[in-house]
Structure 1
Amino acid sequence: MAEVSLVGLTKSYGTNRALADVSMTIPDGAFVVLLGPTGAGKTTTLRLIAGLDRPDAGDIRIAGAPVTADTPAQRDVAMVFQQYSLYPHLTVRENLAFPLRSPVLNWPEAEITRKVGEVAEVLRIAHKLDNKATQLSGGEMQRVSIGRALVRNPRIYLMDEPLSSLDAKLRADLRIELKRIHAELGATFLYVTHDQIEAMTMATHVGVLDAGRLVQFGTPREIYENPVSAYVASRLGQPRINLLPADAFGPAPAGAVQIGLRPEHVRIGEGQPATVRRVERLGDQTRLHLTMGPHEIVTLTDPHTALAAGAQISIRPDTPLWFDASGNRT
């Protein structure tokens, strides 16, 4: 495995600026998640590291050595795509072995057999090795797709929203599997997604992209608790942060235009009057959808609350975040 450094990466496609001066270090053995909406520059970053595209400016270093002029094969990286990159006419065993039989790697057959067996055990698909890819479920196909990357022992694994086409239960299961695999292999992962739950549950570090710029990089907890802007604050957290006019609860600090309140930071029992509009019971928690004058607010309460739609309560802010007219923290 290896540390990967991006220095001033810039890339445009025609008149569209995909990345603008992005600098970031992916530590050796880290699980880094790039988070942002469609068009933020997530996939472009992966493609530049993989060597599928060349940057207009900037440098990429793997294990301290520049690789910008290297071919994808020379960079020794592996990429997992959103859609399953499998050969449907081959068995699982043959799909997993295929990268190792390439002219670049050309492993001995005994080593291929050993490695395929190891990866199949890690991915818990050993019992499917002799099945054709077309006989697998969606989750099994994505496991095999991930396995095609794992067999190679590359310096970094690049993953482009590999779980987005799966149903909710499979996504949850494979999130756990990927984190387990990362821990067992001690591998370096760079994973891109727009799904904040994936970022919060899997990442050791999160990079938040906005229109091609890296606006914050840190641990999930750092970014959740200390976002640099309202944009970053809105990228992590479910339910999303409540953003209201700064004076919604009274006088605000100088320069503040918005107050940001995580749902768990809206306290019930005193303060401004509010009306319960809807009660959302989720088993382990209950969300209250409130109206406070013209404002809509979501907060969390006891799973067994007796509150119902129409109830009148009082609320106050606790540890609010303040943002200026540009959306930056004050």
Structure 2
Amino acid sequence: MADVALRNISKRFGATEAVRELSLTINDGEFLVLLGPSGAGKTTTLRLITGLEKPDAGSVMIDGRDVTQDPPGSRDIAFVFQQYSLYPHLSVYDNLAFPLRSPARRVPEPIIRKRVEQTADLLHIASKLNNRATRLSGGEMQRVAIGRALVRDPSIYLMDEPLSSLDAKLRAELRLELKRIQLELGSTILYVTHDQVEAMTMASRIGVIRDGRLLQLGTPREIYESPADSYVASRLGTPQINFLSAGLLSDVPVPPGTETVGIRTEHLRLAARNGGGMIGRIHRVEHLGEQNHVHLDYKGKMLVTLADPHQPLHAGQEVELHLQNPLCFDRAGQRLPAMAH
């Protein structure tokens, strides 16, 4: 494995600036996730690292070596795509062996067999090695696609939303598998996704990207608890963070310059009316087993929070709202430091 560094990378397609002066280091053995919506520049960043695109400015370093002008084949990178990209006429074994039979590598067949069998064991598909790729489930096909990258042992694995086409149960299963494999092998992985759950559960660090710019880089806990701005705050958390104008919260102490207050579920507690200043009216309650999603109206703004399923709440009920350490943002959306107690 190796570390990979991007230094002030920029890439434009016509009038569209896909990546803007992006600097990022993926450390040896790290699982780094780029999180952002479609069009944020995630895939373009991967293509710049592989050499499938050339940057307009900046450089790509792999293990301390400048590879910006090197062709893709010489960069020792494995790419896992969103689509499975398997050879349908080949068996699982031959699909896994294919990268090792490339003329550029010429790995002896006994070593190929050993690597394929080890990779199949790691991915729990050893019993499928003789199956045609067309006789696999979606989850098995994606395991084979991941296995074709793993069998090579490259400097870094680049993964472009490889789980997004799977159903929810399979996605959850393969998230755990990928993280387990990464820890077992000590692999360096750069993984891109729009899914906050994938980012939170798998990443050593998360980079939040928007319009080609890296907005914040940190551990999942840092990104969640100390977002740099309101956009980063909105990318993590279920239910999504609530935003209220500071003018609606006259009884809540906020730092000078606060325009918007961000309220996550843990910042908001609901209680029976008892003379408190903040009163909301429950719009509806969604019962989800271990927790309830409560939708409520506060001064014409809809808020969503979590509540204990045993707390007696119902539509039309008025409740007191108690805020605890919410996030505060200025007019530009930048996070303001919390007030000292």
TM-score, normalised to structure 1's length? 0.98
The amino acid of 1:74's aligned partner reads S
Cα distance in structure 2, aligned partners of 1:71 and 1:218 = 31
The amino acid of 2:290's aligned partner reads D
C-alpha deviations, 1:151-202, integer Å up to 9, x for none? 0000100000001111111111111111111111100000000000000000
Cα distance in structure 2, aligned partners of 1:31 and 1:303 = 36
The amino acid of 1:177's aligned partner reads E
Cα distance in structure 2, aligned partners of 1:161 and 1:241 = 24
SS of structure 2 residue aligned to 1:93: helix
Number of corresponding residues: 330
Corresponding position: 1:76 with 2:76: yes
Q: Which residue of 2 aligns with 1:263?
A: 265
- Percent identical among aligned pairs is 59
Cα distance in structure 1, aligned partners of 2:35 and 2:277 = 35
RMSD, matched Cα = 1.0
SS of structure 2 residue aligned to 1:299: strand
How much does 1:105 deviate? 1.1
Cα distance in structure 2, aligned partners of 1:168 and 1:51 = 33
Q: Which residue of 2 aligns with 1:304?
A: 310
SS of structure 2 residue aligned to 1:84: coil
Cα distance in structure 2, aligned partners of 1:303 and 1:148 = 45
Structure 2, gaps ≥5 residues long: 337-341
Corresponding position: 1:123 with 2:129: no
Cα distance in structure 2, aligned partners of 1:157 and 1:304 = 46
Q: Which residue of 1 aligns with 2:339?
A: none
Corresponding position: 1:282 with 2:288: yes
C-alpha deviations, 1:198-231, integer Å up to 9, x for none? 0000000000001000010000100000001000
Cα distance in structure 1, aligned partners of 2:152 and 2:118 = 12
Contact 2:19 2:212 in 1 (8 A): yes
The amino acid of 2:261's aligned partner reads I
C-alpha deviations, 1:45-72, integer Å up to 9, x for none? 0000011111000011111111111111
Contact 1:249 1:316 in 2 (8 A): no
Cα distance in structure 2, aligned partners of 1:99 and 1:225 = 42
SS of structure 2 residue aligned to 1:327: coil
Equivalent of 2:332, from 317, 326, 329? 326
Cα distance in structure 2, aligned partners of 1:283 and 1:67 = 52
The amino acid of 1:96's aligned partner reads L
SS of structure 1 residue aligned to 2:107: coil
Contact 1:245 1:258 in 2 (8 A): yes
Q: Which residue of 1 aligns with 2:278?
A: 272
Cα distance in structure 1, aligned partners of 2:10 and 2:16 = 11
How much does 1:248 deviate? 2.0
Cα distance in structure 1, aligned partners of 2:225 and 2:59 = 31
1:122-201 alignment, distance < 5 Å: 122-201=122-201
Corresponding position: 1:44 with 2:50: no
Cα distance in structure 2, aligned partners of 1:266 and 1:248 = 15
Q: Provide closer, same or farther for how the CA distance between residues 129 and 271 of structure 1 changes in structure 2, counting only shifts above 3 A.
A: farther
Cα distance in structure 2, aligned partners of 1:320 and 1:247 = 15
Contact 1:206 1:217 in 2 (8 A): yes
Q: Which residue of 2 aligns with 1:53?
A: 53
Segments ≥4 residues shifted beyond 6 Å: none
Contact 2:8 2:21 in 1 (8 A): yes
How much does 1:317 deviate? 1.4
SS of structure 1 residue aligned to 2:38: coil
Structure 1, gaps ≥5 residues long: none
Cα distance in structure 2, aligned partners of 1:7 and 1:283 = 47
